[in-house]
A = this chain, B = another copy of it.
């Protein structure tokens, strides 16, 4: 039986450690050269498969592949491209199979969140119907931490660490300025639907260094009066405080707080940001001097302060995906299983894609304090090990040495395909 090649693609928003998963996949495949041929990567994710724009990763040195482990972003490019349902666009799925067949691909590793788990499942189902043998394994990734079954998602731990460290640092800054200047610091963080990342801001304060932090979760409808009373109380007691606000914070009627309907001098709609809106309320309502920051991509790209746990798990799910494929598995995802929190012990389990696709895991209610502005001890116990450990990239002349791959194209064999 001829050896089959593998296909790997990155999907959706990238993270500080998605390349660590790529590294895990490619290094594991290289260890099994007897059974797996080349690893082809999709240029810009699944679009690369649809347009037959494949990257030959065998052209990369072992050293370059190893450097993926400490390089943020998506080394082969990612994309926001959700395949429609089989009924709506069967042609796209058939095209995928056609490309896989043309390049003798028998393993499909898809690295992404909920949408890509769904795509992975459909590819597997259609291939079976069409009689084309392929093993489709989903590799979990999302800073949103919202995949089911897996205890946590690779990518989240590093964002959590970044937000906790940054909030701790900025809160020490505002503490020193509060007497005559800034009294409230507002930091906007990602997480449109779930407050996992906002929760990490609460970890800035801990038993070793207590700091006044107010969290605004997307799960808790915003009550401006209660919020201002909380900030006022914090500032009266401590002299200052920090507010960590999720970009997904909503008014009771469901509108995003960041969407203020603002217009500039020319009448153009003004681009939002929840942080400046919250800062404005603090000024108007309490008359306190504020500063605000929006972390945006900085938080999910911050490989320089990645969590070691996260890097190890990102690598492990990539490696496990290959091992599952070699064990004959199909339509599954390696999942992180927490065996204990203290001490933290984890292993890799197996989740059927049918149970992963299109399901979101929200923050448990017991993770948010009763007043809605903080995290509970249970939440701390969950978050702490995910942020633990440092895994610094190598530096040269003051800057991290991130790798850029050659990304050599595989010659095309098929006629072009038009994306819808």
Does the CB pair B400–A179 fall under 8 Å?
Answer: no
Does the CB pair A271–B280 fall under 8 Å?
Answer: yes
Q: Is A401 an interface residue (CB 8 A)?
A: yes
Specify how many copies of this chain sit in the oligomer. 2
Contact of A300 (CB < 8 Å), options: B81, B173, B206: B173
Counting chain B CB atoms within 10 Å of each CB, the highest count among A45, A176, A187, A295 belongs to: A176
A283: shortest Cβ distance to chain B, in Å?
8
CA distance A342 to B243 in the complex (A): 44
If A73-B176, A176-B73, A176-B78 touch, whether A161 touches B398 (CB-CB below 8 Å) is: yes
Q: Which residue of B lies closest to A265 (CB)?
A: B261
Q: Which residues of B contact A164 (CB under 8 A)?
A: 398-399
Does the CB pair B401–A208 fall under 8 Å?
Answer: yes
If A170-B301, A173-B73, A261-B264 touch, whether A79 touches B180 (CB-CB below 8 Å) is: yes
Cβ contacts A43-85/B at 8 Å (1 or 0 each): 0110100000000000000000000000111111111110000
Q: Is A260 an interface residue (CB 8 A)?
A: yes
Contact of A209 (CB < 8 Å), options: B74, B292, B402: B402
CA distance A73 to B293 in the complex (A): 17
Q: Is A174 an interface residue (CB 8 A)?
A: yes
Q: Is A340 an interface residue (CB 8 A)?
A: no
If A77-B176, A294-B294, A298-B293 touch, whether A395 touches B399 (CB-CB below 8 Å) is: no
A169-B298, A262-B265 known, 13 other contacts, Cβ within 8 Å: A80-B180, A165-B304, A166-B301, A170-B296, A174-B297, A264-B277, A268-B284, A270-B270, A273-B276, A273-B292, A273-B294, A384-B398, A387-B397
User: Nearest 8 CB-CB pairs, A to B?
Assistant: A73-B172, A74-B176, A387-B398, A293-B296, A169-B301, A44-B179, A261-B265, A173-B301
Question: What are 6 A-B interface contacts by the 8 Å CB criterion?
Answer: A13-B177, A77-B175, A77-B178, A268-B284, A270-B276, A304-B305
Q: What is A's interface to B at a CB cutoff of 8 Å?
A: 10, 13-14, 16, 44-45, 47, 71-81, 161, 164-166, 168-170, 172-181, 185, 187, 203-204, 206, 208-209, 260-265, 268, 270-273, 275-277, 279-280, 283-284, 291-298, 300-305, 307, 384-385, 387-390, 392, 395-402, 404
